Each structure stands twice: as C-alpha cells, then as structure tokens.
Amino acid sequence: MAESVKALSLTVAMAPAPRQVREQVVCLPSPATVMQALRATGWLEPGEGVDLNRYTVSVWGRRVGWEQALREGDRIELCRALVVDPKVARRERFAKQGARGTGLFARRRPGAAAGYGA
C-alpha cells in the first residue's frame, strides 16, 4: 500500500516596514520546516531584499528556530526588532500629555468622590 504524502497549508507573514504587511499562503509536503516555507514564498530570492539576520521567526507568536517542524494551518511570522521599547514610548507620551488628560477621571466634578466621573 502506497503512503500518501499529506500537504500542509501554511501562512507566511512579515512586516518589512511600519504599516506594511506581506502575507502568502504556501502548500508544502509534510514534514516541512520554517526555512522550507520561507523558501517557498520566493522572498529569499536575490532582489527581494529580505535579510534573515534582521528578523526573528515565530509560529503563532511563539519564537522558534529555522528548522522547526510545522503543522497544518500554522502561521509563520517574520518579526522585526523593536525600534523603541513600548514602556519607554508610553512614559514619553504620558510626559508630553501631562496631568490634564490622564484618562477617565481627569475632569472630575469638584467635591466628587475619588473614582467617580462628572
């Protein structure tokens, strides 16, 4: 009896720049690895400008290696490094905003109990 090779349908996504997303669905024979899925997209060809040294790879948001085995329906994501730490960015936005608009209770009625709005 001949064994049938199961095909995997995978989604490969990357964000080469802010507010830009490239996404492609590829079908590969099982078993397949992350690197095989990336090669199948054609993004690693010369002239495409994808430098793997700039990216980390994850499957459904969990960091994995390039030789990670894949399952049907997996989403492979190429992630850029953060330019600014989100906590630092939030602190800077808050410092610019000041205490005048610090959220839900910024405009409290005079004499109102703490935690209650206008």
Residue 22: Cβ within 10 Å count = 14
Q: What is the pTM of this model?
A: 0.64
What is the tens place of the pLDDT at every residue in 35-90?
999 888 888 877 777 777 888 899 998 999 888 899 998 999 998 887 888 898 88
Residue of 95, 64, 90 lying closest to 77 (CA atoms): 64
Residue of 68, 64, 55, 72 lying closest to 10 (CA atoms): 72
**pLDDT > 90: percent of the chain:** 19
Is 107's pLDDT higher than 70? no
Is 93's pLDDT higher than 80? yes
Q: Which amino acid is at 8?
A: L
What pLDDT is attached to residue 11?
93
Residue of 78, 97, 88 lying closest to 13 (CA atoms): 78
